[in-house]
Each structure stands twice: as structure tokens, then as C-alpha cells.
Chains A and B, each alone.
Chain A
Amino acid sequence: MPETVYAVPNIPTPNRPVIIDAIICTGCNDCVEVCPIDVFIPAAERGEPPILLHPEECWYCGCCVNHCPTGGAIKINWPIQQRGYWQRASTGQNFRV
């Protein structure tokens, strides 16, 4: 349980269109510059991952992921309600992204 409970407003949704791995991310901000919607802002500290400031505006085009020079520092995170299904043809079993 958290030690301190803060009084904060509800967050907009979808609120996490991408997940950034802070260990892999070099803070190069290539994703900030390529994003067509400008959902990120650079962190104040050099080398830190960018801040996802406007997550609910994301277009899910994947340009940030595709342009990431480290390959793997940033991953798309589809909203649960929009994750697609598929069926294994041989068994009929269903799976979901």
C-alpha cells in the first residue's frame, strides 16, 4: 500500500499508449521529434526518458517505436478494449494481443 495517498484528478484515457523502458532509453528524444501528434515533451534532465504529456491524443501510428534508435526502449501499449483477437486454425482456440 502506498505510504502517502495524494488527492489527484482522474487521468485521461487511454493514458498509456506507449511504455518506455527507462533503463534502455538513452533520452535521445527521437520519439519526441518524430511524433506527428506531439504527445511527448523532453524531460528536463538530459538523458532521461521523455514525458508522455498528452497520451489521449495518440494516433497509435507507431512512428516513435519504429524510429527508436535503441530498438526496444519504447513499446506500443494498446488500450485493453482495442486489443485484437485471433484463432488458431487447428484447434479453434482464441487468443488476444
Chain B
Amino acid sequence: MANWHDYAVRGRVPEWPYPIRYENEQVIETDVLVLGGGIAGCWAAIAAASEGLRVVLVEKSATIRSGAGGPGCDHWCDAPANPSSKVDPDDWAQRLASANGGYANGIGRQIQCRENYDTILELERMGGKIRDTEGEFKAAEGYDEKTKFVFSPRSNPFHESNVVMRVWGTTFKPALKRECQRLGVTIYDRVMATGLLNEAGAQGQRVVGATGFNNRTGEFTVFKAKATILCMSGSAPIWTFDTELAALSTFRPRTLSGDGIAMAWRAGAELALLEKSERHRLGGGHKHHWYAGAGDASYENVPLVDANGKVLPGGLSLPHWGRKSDPGDGRVGGGAWEQVREGVLKGEYELPIYGDFPAMAPIERNVTWKFLLREESGTKIIVDSYEESGFDAAKDRLMAYQLLEGTSPPQWREIYRGVERGGVMIDWDLKTNLDGLYAAGEQLFVAGDHSFAAATGRYAGRKAAAYALEVSHAAISREQVAKEKARVYGPAKRTEGIDWKELHAAIARVMQWFCAEYKTERLLKMGLESLNEIEQRWVPHLYASDPHKLLRGMEDLSILNYAQAILHSSLARKASTQWLDFQRIDYPEMDPPESNKLTTIKLENDQAVPGERPLNYAGHLKKNYEAHNRDYTGVWKG
């Protein structure tokens, strides 16, 4: 039973299956509060609980598989401290921090490079599978006899670094949840965190907890905490809304709606580089396009051919083993694709393009098809579907959709495809500018991927625990709680008006018109005025007929706040820069030297206050990391 016709035939519409407890309130007190139960959140909770503290984990989905990395993970990237690595962790971190014109998160990268190998060893002890102990892929390139790790050519064009490990990531999230439970972490699944609580209810003051509601029952919870860690995604569908594309280009689930960014913004936390966005590319670069997009990680060793089996020019997938080419060429949109496009238009290559699995050595084909594609987040179901339909990787070429689908219109943008994007500003303790508030994983500006989330989550949990041991609980402001309750329950009290889909589409259209390819002071200000108009005129009409739709409505309000912060940040950057795909028509000079800095934005007395930091604000990565972690012991001894 799934649609109105079914209901009509049965003669009734089912009642909501969960008890409705709108406005019931419970108050939970804890030492460390972790908001978001994805990869970073689970690691933060485990690290804090390991210090013997009371930890509460709040997850609006189901912790066992929630988050972008919940269903799985095929690569543990940038792990230079592993014993088979041929590069120095500090050098590797510096290299990552110097990428993208220096618009990088040096602190996060240094933590990742120093600690993510320790992190994955802990994960193995919890039950995560990280080694080919059965020797199934012993004959494959990258298999390391000593450690039984299977290394990837990713970030490894010359097979000289061994910094990226191929892993059995479908085992990770259940193992992390079990470890949380073993350590006594109290998990609140299906509870959406809605807002941070400041001391005395004053924006910019210490964070002393958060509010949330159960998206099945509607029950409200006030969490009181000594330290709070934001571990939600920085990603959100700000510029687009279309359920027709639900299964397409959706590396991020619908639940990632920027709640953490929105609540950090409202609480007065400093955010960096929110002005970054880029054109959405439907035809590749995102994983769930049936693995048809080359340039995708898991195509790292799959040769691409045209419709007649003619091999396309080098660099279209990440480098093959032993092939010395620039890994940058392999990214969608790189120079190699221009070459292919020209060849197609001249008749040199015929569309469509295919991934030529049969041409691969059987062991390498198995690594990709039977191992990586079954372990990556959300892709097991894809390879299973192909095989059930008759696809045989030994005989069949998988179609790719580059060029056929092309790029989206320029106003269909996304926050990021790669890593260069905005997020929460932090110091060397992964602490924000607000006392008591920490952040990790994709919540950070210019975050990395799965192993970045894991290592920074673990680090933030450790630092937040140390802080919590030193401080007392502070009183929460009942006035702030009452205000938040009114905000959350407004839509549940109405029985008509506009629904969450219409609101989301309205916000997205404003961003398409006023904050896309063409940016000027006038357009950006019109965008802000339009969003404010939506907030004042239409949000008061938002209605939700059950707690699930209330969840989606509250996500829209996060998206609205996130969009407002993006516009403020875009107004603050009075220059164009290629590194952030950011072009101001009224400031046409690209990357003038004085503009090479981190733009920051925060609310003070509900007014947006811009700021800036030098790109290298993290300072000397190795020295500063060591100064802040004198007692840390890991595998890497320097």
C-alpha cells in the first residue's frame, strides 16, 4: 500500500503509527553532546565516551546506516602514517593544505594525516574489515603482503605513495554503532537537533546544549551539555529541488540539509567560505549515476572506450596502474574531456562511452566490480541490480553518460562536488569561536571525505571531553527554549498553507536567480531581500500534517538560514576567484592577490558581521599539531 488508490480500495487512510507527543518535553543532561550520528559523530561519541564521560548522540535518521558514509565506504584516503606508506604524513598534510590555491583546511588535513591510520586500526578492533586476510585479491596490484592491505592508485599516480587503502566499508557503520553502545553512549535516533542553546540565551555566548524533536512522535527534548560537537553535513540542496532526480546524482541523502550550519549561524558561530558553489554536473562526478560517470573513484582502473570499443585518450579515469599521467586530468570537466568532446564532434569517437570491464585483467576487474563497488556507500544495490538483469563484468561494458547528459544549467548549483566549500570555522582543538562548541567531519569548512570525518570526529571527541572535564554545567535559558519550541511547532499547529516541497522549491529558485553564475551587489541583495520575504511572508504558512513532514519542513528552515548565510558571505567577498568558482561581475579581476583569504561571516545581535583570515591561518601544521597534542600517542612516531 503506497498511494491514494490503494487507500481508496482499502476504504481508509491509515492513522499515524507512532504516538503523537507534540510539546511533551524531556530534559536530558550529559557531559558531551554529539549532534549528528554519521561517521564523524560516531567517532566523536566513541572518543568522548572512552574518556569516561557521559555522552549523548542525537541522530535524525538511524545511526546504524545514517550519513553519507553510512551504507559503506570503498576508500580510506590519505592515510600516510600506515606502515607501507612511502610518504611523510606531515609532508602529505602540507601538500593537501596547499591544494586548490590554498583554500584548504590545514588543521583538518594535519589531523587526518597524523591520526586516520590510528583511527582505522581502532575500527578494525571494533569489527570493521580493512585487510584482505583471506588473500582474495593477493594477485592484484596494490596488495601488500606484509599488512594485507589493498592499496589504491588514487592519489598515487606513480604507485609510490601507498596512502589510499581499499576497504570493506559496509562493515564500518554497524561496528561504530556497536562500539557506541558498548561504551554506554546514549543514542537518540529519529531525533532532529533543531537549535543550539547559548548561555543566558544570548547569541555568541557559550553553547550549553541543544534542542531537538522526535520526527516520529514529535516529542521535544532539551539536551543540557558541558560540551557540544557539531557533526552534521555541510552539504544541502540549496539551489535545486526535484524528487524526480531522487536516485540520480545523489551522493548525499535528502537528510543532509545543513542543519548544523543553520544552527551554528543562528547561535553566532563563525562560518568560513560559504560563498563557494559550483555548477551541478548531472552526467558524472556523483556516484549514484549508475556508476556511469568516469572520473568516479571506482573507475580508477577501468579503461573507457567509445561505442565501437575505441580507447579514449589517457587520463579519463584516474590513472591506471603504472601509467604515469596527471590525476587531475581524470576529473570530470578536466582537459581530457574537451579532447573527447572535440573528437566526438569530428566523428573520431562515437557515443556513448563505456567502461570496458572485459578488457581488464580478471583480478583487477574483480577488485573494482566485486569488491569496491559492493563496499562504497549505497552502491551494492546498484551492482546487484545490474547482475540480476544479466550484466556480466567479464563480458559486458557499462555505459557512461558523459557528454550525453552534459552539465546542468549554470543556475543549478551545488555546494560542492570536490572538497572546496564552506563550513564551520575552527581552531587547533576543532573548537569554534563559541565556548563549548566543537565541530568535525563535513561540518568543517573545506572538509575531506570518510577518513577525514572519522579522524576529525575522533579528535573533536577527545578535545571536547578534555574541555568537559574542566567546566561545570551552565543554566539553560527557558526563554530561548520557549522561542525554539514556538519555531518548531508552528507548522504542526496549522492544517493548511504551504507544504515543505513548495517552500524548498521557493528557496532554491531565489538562489538560482540571485546567487548563481551572475553575481553582483544588486542581485545578491535582492536575493537576501527575497529570502527575508519568504521567511516573513511564507514561513508563517508552512504546515506539517505529521512529525515526518515537520522534519522535512524544519530541514527547509535550515536550508533557508543556510542560503541567507551564503548570500551574506557572497556579499562579503568583493572579488572573483577561480578557486571557489566565484565570479562577481562588479569585481571582475580574477584572484587579485589581496583577495586570497578566507572570508568569514557570523551573526552578532542578529546582524551579519563579515571577517577574514589569511589562507595559512593554521600556521606551521606540524609544529602546531604537536603543540596541541603533546600527550597523544599513535602509530606515527615522526
0/1 interface trace, chain B 342-363, chain A, CB 8 Å (1 if under): 0000000000101010110000
Say whether, besides A44-B14, A61-B253, A89-B396, A36 and B385 are in contact (CB < 8 Å): no
B-contacting residues, A36-58, CB 8 Å: 36-38, 41-44, 51-58
- Smallest CB separation, A91 vs chain B (Å): 10
Are B548 and A38 interface neighbours, CB within 8 A?
A: yes
Are A52 and B389 interface neighbours, CB within 8 A?
A: no
0/1 interface trace, chain A 20-46, chain B, CB 8 Å (1 if under): 000000000000011111100111100
Count of chain B residues with a beta carbon within 8 Å of a chain A beta carbon = 65
Whether A1 is near chain B, meaning CB under 8 Å from some CB there, is no
A-contacting residues, B109-139, CB 8 Å: none
Whether B479 is near chain A, meaning CB under 8 Å from some CB there, is no
Q: Which of B219-227, B243-251, B567-575, B630-638 contacts A (4 or more CB under 8 A)?
A: B243-251
Bound Cα distance A20, B16 (Å) = 21
Contacts of A58 in B (CB 8 A): 246-247
Are B255 and A36 interface neighbours, CB within 8 A?
A: yes
Are A84 and B292 interface neighbours, CB within 8 A?
A: yes
Whether B5 is near chain A, meaning CB under 8 Å from some CB there, is yes
Bound Cα distance A58, B552 (Å) = 13
Whether B617 is near chain A, meaning CB under 8 Å from some CB there, is no
Are A89 and B309 interface neighbours, CB within 8 A?
A: yes
Q: Is the interface of B mostly helix, strand, loop or mixed?
A: loop
Are A84 and B380 interface neighbours, CB within 8 A?
A: no
Residue of A nearest to B252 (CB): A59
Residue of A nearest to B12 (CB): A44
Contacts of A94 in B (CB 8 A): 399
Say whether, besides A38-B216, A78-B385, A95-B390, A56 and B243 are in contact (CB < 8 Å): yes
Contacts of B359 in A (CB 8 A): 89
Contacts of B378 in A (CB 8 A): 59-62
Residue of B nearest to A56 (CB): B243
Residue of B nearest to A8 (CB): B4
* One of A16, A34, A57 near B65 (C-beta < 8 A): A34
Are A35 and B62 interface neighbours, CB within 8 A?
A: yes
Bound Cα distance A50, B244 (Å) = 23
Say whether, besides A59-B254, A61-B71, A97 and B62 are in contact (CB < 8 Å): no
Residue of B nearest to A77 (CB): B385
Contacts of A63 in B (CB 8 A): 65, 70-71
- A contacts, CB < 8 Å to B: 6, 8-9, 11-17, 33-38, 41-44, 51-63, 65-67, 76, 78-79, 81-90, 92, 94-97
- B contacts, CB < 8 Å to A: 1-5, 7-9, 14-18, 61-62, 64-67, 70-71, 170, 190, 215-216, 243-244, 246-248, 250, 253-255, 288, 290-292, 307-309, 352, 354, 356, 358-359, 377-378, 380-382, 384-386, 389-391, 395-399, 548, 551-552
14 A-B pairs with C-beta separation under 8 A? A8-B3, A14-B243, A14-B244, A36-B67, A51-B2, A56-B246, A58-B246, A58-B247, A59-B246, A62-B71, A78-B247, A86-B398, A90-B395, A92-B308
A-B complex: 7 closest residue pairs judged by Cβ atoms = A62-B381, A84-B290, A8-B4, A6-B8, A61-B378, A56-B243, A60-B247
Q: With contacts A61-B70, A61-B378, A76-B385 known, what are 17 further pairs, Cβ within 8 A?
A: A6-B4, A8-B7, A11-B4, A14-B244, A17-B246, A36-B62, A51-B2, A56-B243, A59-B250, A60-B247, A60-B250, A63-B65, A79-B247, A84-B382, A86-B399, A87-B397, A97-B389
